[in-house]
């Protein structure tokens, strides 16, 4: 999930372990805490293992995990306020102490984002038994006699946009849009692993004929398996932002000095996500400490280009900060 790692919601804490055991009781066989924890540990290379410990974290895996090298001063103010309010500060919300506030670890290494592609695909992209298809969209899984035999996909032949502007007027002169590609299929001899996210996965399944029968028939999709749960049970994620201003100028953090510092040492504001690296997880009055259900995400102090000349301020006002409360 992009660069933020907290709360990670993997079997790295007592609270998550309880949730996984509940899933197993409800029928999700193979997803118990003891069964999946080794896989998460195998994939992690925690750069702060001395701080978070080895009970819930590991080193040596492909995914680099650590805090950003830079935190704005107001991040420390939030942590201090959490202590004063009695919420506490946790060194690791994915560990034994999973409530309170913390500076969250993220999928990065020394201020550079570590994506899944960088961690898993790029190091092995030259393997003879691996083919990576760029600019490709899977449309459906091909099924016959209740067995998967292939995948249908759409691949663009030209995948870039090229614009020419007249500098004096700003008007668009020429545009070369992406050309239509072609739909192709690829056969498989063993299995298809469909891992396209919470929204795209049921979308592809339905296009493949797996889902609620009535809905599929309404779109003239041949029903392969009447499975009413596909694409259902989604829930809104309501959040309530609380915004305020600080007695601090909205300073331009993307000066040449900041850029050079990042390019040279991977530090200063460009090496972090501002206040979004701070996170709080708390229980409200409807639950207990074992099942926290409120998450707080501050935002502010992000580096961003300012209008006008070099070293100009983003605005003439004070710095804005917001804290989103939800779950």
Give the tens place of pLDDT for each residue, 198-233. Answer: 999 999 999 999 999 999 999 999 999 999 999 998
Segment 157-183 mean pLDDT: 49
Q: Are residues 104 and 140 in the same domain?
A: no
**Does any domain span residue 276?**
yes
Q: Are residues 208 and 298 in the same domain?
A: no
Q: Is 235 helix (H, G, I), strand (E, B) or coil?
A: coil
Examine the fold and report which residue of 179, 208, 226 is the final residue of a domain before the chain moves on: 226
User: Considering only 150-154, 162-166, 192-196, which range has the smallest mean pLDDT?
Assistant: 162-166
Task: Note the pLDDT tens digit of each residue in 56-114.
Answer: 999 999 999 999 999 999 999 999 999 999 999 999 998 888 899 999 999 999 999 99
Q: Are residues 278 and 301 in the same domain?
A: yes
Q: 63 — phi, psi (to 5°)?
A: -95, 115
Q: How confident is the model at residue 180 (pLDDT cuts 50, 70, 90)?
A: low
**Which residue range is the domain that position 282 belongs to?**
65-116+236-326
Nearest-CA neighbor of 233 among 281, 272, 198, 277?
A: 198
Q: Are residues 286 and 146 in the same domain?
A: no
**Does any domain span residue 23?**
no
Segment 33-38 mean pLDDT: 90
The pLDDT value recorded for residue 156 is 77
Examine the fold and report which residue of 206, 226, 246 is the final residue of a domain before the chain moves on: 226
**Does any domain span residue 175?**
yes
CA–CA gap between residue 14 and residue 188 (Å, rounded): 40
Nearest-CA neighbor of 60 among 49, 44, 40, 38?
A: 44
Question: How many C-beta atoms surround the C-beta of residue 121 within 10 A?
Answer: 13
**Does any domain span residue 44?**
no
Residue 128 has pLDDT above 50, yes or no: yes
The pLDDT value recorded for residue 311 is 63
Q: Are residues 184 and 270 in the same domain?
A: no
**Does any domain span residue 178?**
yes
More confident: 257 or 143: 143
Q: Are residues 96 and 122 in the same domain?
A: no
The interaxial angle of helices 14-25 and 33-43, nearest 10 deg, is: 130
Q: Are residues 158 and 220 in the same domain?
A: yes
Highest mean pLDDT among 15-29, 47-61, 286-300, 302-316: 47-61
CA–CA gap between residue 175 and residue 164 (Å, rounded): 7
Q: How many angstroms from the chain centroid is the CA of residue 59?
A: 21
CATH of residue 102's domain is 3.30.560.10
Q: What element of type H or E holds 79?
A: helix 73-85
Examine the fold and report which residue of 199, 226, 253 is the final residue of a domain before the chain moves on: 226
Segment 256-275 mean pLDDT: 89
Contact 287, 293 (CB under 8 A): yes
Task: Please state the pTM of the whole predicted model.
Answer: 0.80
**Could you give the number of structural domains in the chain?**
2
Q: How confident is the model at residue 259 (pLDDT cuts 50, 70, 90)?
A: confident
Q: 304 — phi, psi (to 5°)?
A: -160, 150
Residue 173 has pLDDT above 70, yes or no: no
Contact 218, 209 (CB under 8 A): no
């Amino acid at each position: 999930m992009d660069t933020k790692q907290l709360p990670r919601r993997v079997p790295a804490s007592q609270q998550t372990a309880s949730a996984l055991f509940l899933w197993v009781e409800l029928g999700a066989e193979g997803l118990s805490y003891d069964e999946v924890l080794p896989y998460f540990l195998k994939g992690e290379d925690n750069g702060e293992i001395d701080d978070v410990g080895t009970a819930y974290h590991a080193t040596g895996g492909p995914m680099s995990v650590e805090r950003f090298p830079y935190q704005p001063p107001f991040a420390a103010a939030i942590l201090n306020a959490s202590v004063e309010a009695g919420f506490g500060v946790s060194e690791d919300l994915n560990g034994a102490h999973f409530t309170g506030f913390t500076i969250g670890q993220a999928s990065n290494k020394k201020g550079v984002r570590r994506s899944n592609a960088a961690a898993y695909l790029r190091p092995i992209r030259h393997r003879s038994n691996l083919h990576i298809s760029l600019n490709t969209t899977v449309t459906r899984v091909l099924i016959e006699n209740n067995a998967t035999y292939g995948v249908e996909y759409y691949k663009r032949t030209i995948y870039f946009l090229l614009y020419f502007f007249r500098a004096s007027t700003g008007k668009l002169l020429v545009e070369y849009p992406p050309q239509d590609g072609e739909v192709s299929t690829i056969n498989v001899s063993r299995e298809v692993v469909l891992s396209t996210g919470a929204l795209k996965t049921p979308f592809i399944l339905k296009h493949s004929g797996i889902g609620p029968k009535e809905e599929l028939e309404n779109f003239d999709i041949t029903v392969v398996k009447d499975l009413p749960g596909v694409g259902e049970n989604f829930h809104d994620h309501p959040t309530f932002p609380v915004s305020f201003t600080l007695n601090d100028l909205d300073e331009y953090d993307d000066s040449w000095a900041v850029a050079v510092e990042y390019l040279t040492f991977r530090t200063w504001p460009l090496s972090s996500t501002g206040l979004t690296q701070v996170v709080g997880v708390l229980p409200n009055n409807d639950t207990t400490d074992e099942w926290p259900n409120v998450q707080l995400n501050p935002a502010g102090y992000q580096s961003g280009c300012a209008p006008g000349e070099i070293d100009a301020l983003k605005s003439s006002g004070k710095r804005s900060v917001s804290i989103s409360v939800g779950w």
